[in-house]
Chain A
Amino acid sequence: MVPSPGKTLFLSGAIFAALHPGCFAGETVRFNRDVLPILSDKCFHCHGPDGGSRKADLRLDEESFLTREAESGLALVSPGDPEKSELIYRITSKEDDEVMPPPEDAKQLTPKEKEILSAWVKSGAEWEGHWSFSPPVRPATPDSPEAVSPIDAFILERLAREEIVPAAPADPATWLRRASLDLTGLPPDPDTTTNFLADLDYEAAVDALLASPRYGERMAWDWLEAARYADTHGYQKDNLRSMWAWRDWVVKAYNENQPFDQFTIEQLAGDLLPSPTTSQLVATGFNRNHRINAEAGAIDEEYRTEYVIDRVDTTATVWMGLTAGCSRCHDHKFDPLTQREFFELAAFFNNIDEKGADGVALTAVPDLEIDVPGFEEKMAEASASLAASEKALIKKAEELSGEYDQWLVRELEILESENYWLVTEPAKVRGDSADSTFTPLPDRSFLFGGTVPLNDTHRLTIKTEHPLSVSSIRLEALPHSDLTDGSLSPSFKGDFLLSEIQLLRNGKPVIPESARATHESPGRPVSDAIDGDPLSGWSVGGGKTKSVSAVFTLTEPLLIDPADDLEISLAYLSREEQYFIGRFRVSLAVGTPVKDELTQTLSTALTSGSRKVLVQEFRERSPALAELRRERDAARESLEAARAASKTRVMVMRERAGDPRPTHVLGRGLYDQPGELVHPNVPAFLSLPLPEEGSRNRLTLARWLVDPRHPLTARVTVNRLWQQFFGTGLVATPEDFGRQGEQPSHPELLDHLALEFIESGWDLKALIRRIVLSDAYRRSSAIPYEMIERDPRNRLLARGPRKRLPAPAIRDQALLAGGLLVEKVGGPPVRPEQPGGLWEAVAGVNGNTTRYVADTGEGRFRRSLYTLWKRSVPPPNMLLFDSAGREMCSVRSGSTNTPLQALVTLNDPNFSMPALTFARHSLDNKNLDDAARLSAMWQRLLVGEPSTDELKILRAALDDHRIRYRETPALAGERTAPLSIKLSQPAPEDPVELAAWTEIAEILLNLDATLSPR
């Protein structure tokens, strides 16, 4: 059988109800709920909204077909009389050339579907529009003596009709853990638990959870998945991007309970508000979170078009539950959205001042630099500390007048010896490739950077202040942290290949006669760098992290005059790619030097006797001042770090100046096939036209989306929240409210909630509060035996929700239990531990995410919301637990159950370390016996009390582990070693005992009840 989760099986009333939640046994056929889904799925492909593929000029998605006459003379539909209806004749015909759908069609009607269509015609063939395309109408709240809230009234009414008795309330501890994890992504703190269990004040508990900063972090996760937020650009190069300021905006907006209409307007069009605040500009990052390409050879317009289309898809999915993407290439097959209307929507997003292939730097235009709060003090401190250390250095240098004199004498001796290395300070360094950059470093070396080309020639222009006799050139290759693995080169292997080195005096080449080097790789001797063949050259092998050097000796000393132009060129022209020396320093041999060195600055000052420069040089070079220099350098680094951290960039939406960019319908959705010119507009079938007056821009669109008369926005939003708390939405397809989407299980409840939401001023916390305080949410999640068959997915809500935690909550609750969680809201992404080699295995072209280096400090233990999300290799412990990949909008929460998940929670250090510290904390209280200690651990994680049986199982395991670890104390040592090695905590007094308790922690962290709250 072909998999088709949406397929309808009318096997029995019970299953019918389960799969078609809007219906219950014994009710008559209704067009909207029962007939339209069949027509949509089986017929619309040829007889639906898409004019391009429509057959026989017949469309079944509009009421007009009811009055149409077929060629046979029969009415297409004769209300009350299936036998006289061409529609029924055709679907039941045995003739291959008559029957519909045609026999070769993959989608055939089932006998039950034929019955439904027939029953509908028989019952009078009443027409209804698709439910979600007209605005919600306030339903009467059913009278229900038991119901404490309207939510429950609707649910109980349905259960009563089905003759199902709802489950009893869950015990308070179970409810508290459920609510806490759903609202904050973390279990409750022990104090919260104690207080709640003492007073059982549910409302106060919910209010406290909603007021916690953890609430915004929890809510942000789903929004980030919908907004396809990531910390890299995606596509081929997948470089880092800076969008975390937008992520923090989201957390803040949720925590401050920004009304959802405002939340919408600021994200879609904050830049178009009158005098927008920085915060409102940052909010528009929502529509810059899409992937941005940087592949060499990519065509700008092709990708710019993709971004515009991504914005339409995302906006339509998130706010309207519409699968607009289907209309990119042709009219929608199922919903009345035309291709033209798709591009009218695209026109709202098509006037951004952006480029196509722009995903190299941290941000692509348009972007914004903003202040990061909280750095003023740090900056002031760092500034003061730098000033103080500079002052100390100057003072000390002045005090060391004796040393200065000695130093000066020594340097003069070197100068006069006429045998020294003159470390060059080139007037100019450039590459033949225009994008190459060279950063001078204090030791007179240069760091090569920029867009690293495959081949290049680097040229140093040197001017001398007085005549020099040069006998040889020394080239040093030095390591740097910006180079591959801290090596000598930016190439993939960290090796370089110097094709040729040349000295040019006034443009005339002087080829060195001989060469020697400290290192050479086999077959690539340094002599190949002076052989005139650009393909051969000098290499030292990859992975070197200590400097190497080569000396190139001239045939005879070369006299260089201040008037001469001296150029040294380093050519990298072999067939190895990017085999450059990444950081180099060039010195000229004056005379026949051995070891002594002078820089050009120093040699000039010594000659001219400039005391100011000499004192400076003394400060920078004297060994006696090394310690103070180190302090000064460290202070300078801190200031630079603070300064860098005090600002961040973020991508935003900004309209182009001048006339708007024209938008065309694109043939087959392709950028290079522009057709008809269109203007911004909204789809007609929603029957909510834009005002005729005024301009039409994103702000118009945003306001239209949150117009209280909009049929979709409030329903779709309420439904997504319902999904967050019950695991499944009232509409099980939150991404599709169209005709192919599922029918709502409780249509009146959905409309009730949507209208309440709008009337409350789009108050999210108020809505959530009502959901979480409902009886439906409070019920026990135990599944009575007969309900497994009757309602396996709990669509009728006779029992409480039971769902596996989302990925971040699984990791975060482990960190919390282990006392490791660092709770700090916001900031740049962090890099917790992940298995080695994952980024490296797929890395290719030079990018800045080819190697993963884990944080060593608090970054290891922040909430998973802050983990750096690299699109091409997302964090595996998130992806394995069904997180969205963040390459495109995702609003449906998945939940699979796989062996690889078990391996994560058993073996990933993100879980085994918390297990260890969870155990260690549990041993803090020396007065507990085993049973009490086990019970305390259970309560910390699972909130309730373990049963006697559960305690017994744990005690037996504990005893066995004690025995085993006592027999093999070395294993206990290994098991507990991360405490001191990785966490710098004191080693345990009794490793055997700690190891045994660590096993208990591992058991608890892996329980089904831990992963799927009861």
Chain B
Amino acid sequence: MSAFNDITKNGFWKQNPLLVQLLGLCPLLAISTSLVNAVSLGLATILVMLLANFAVASLRALIPYEIRIPVFVLIIAALVTVVDLSFNAFLHDLYLVLGIFIPLIVTNCIVLARVEAFAAKNGLAAATLDGVMMGVGFLWVIALIGGLRELIGQGTLFSGIEMIFPALSGIQVLPLDYPGFLIMMLPPGAFFTLGLLIAGRNWSEARANQRRLNQLKQAEHPGDKPAENMPPFTA
């Protein structure tokens, strides 16, 4: 069971596709202009990663190692096409919102990366879970960036939600005369936000490491005070 725990933690935090592996920047730049767009793409990505990892893990015995890359690309492209067509036919309202994003998932190298690094070497259940959890890791980061960019860039949240749920409408968070902050809506805004999030993650990791180190030292030399020569991290 602990293997499944690790897979979940890896996708969510330790090997987060956007914060640690830095994969999937192309859709991140294009789509994270609003919370609704970001969550929509994140959900579609989870679906495709689940299907891709499942398909590759179940077919891996049949795929010769030397030509695995073209076969993976073929499988992913075929699955994205099928998802695209099915959404268009059976979930048309959602397709009108997500439609332009679904083909973009092919450009998301996180799908190919997980297929190659994980699904091709692991069992069906583990590979499927990995696909979902990596997708979830992608979803929460792109949603956070989308929300921040939308809030700072145009002062709203959930704008465009009426296209998915006609009863709801976006929220004007900042005053109506908020002038907007254009660069946040343009691609550089995505880079700035992502950079700050990565810095924040690295900082919190470094802090946790430092605490663990101090605890080890305390355990070895119970009488000593915590190391004085190390500058303490302050919040």
Are A and B co-members of a single complex? no
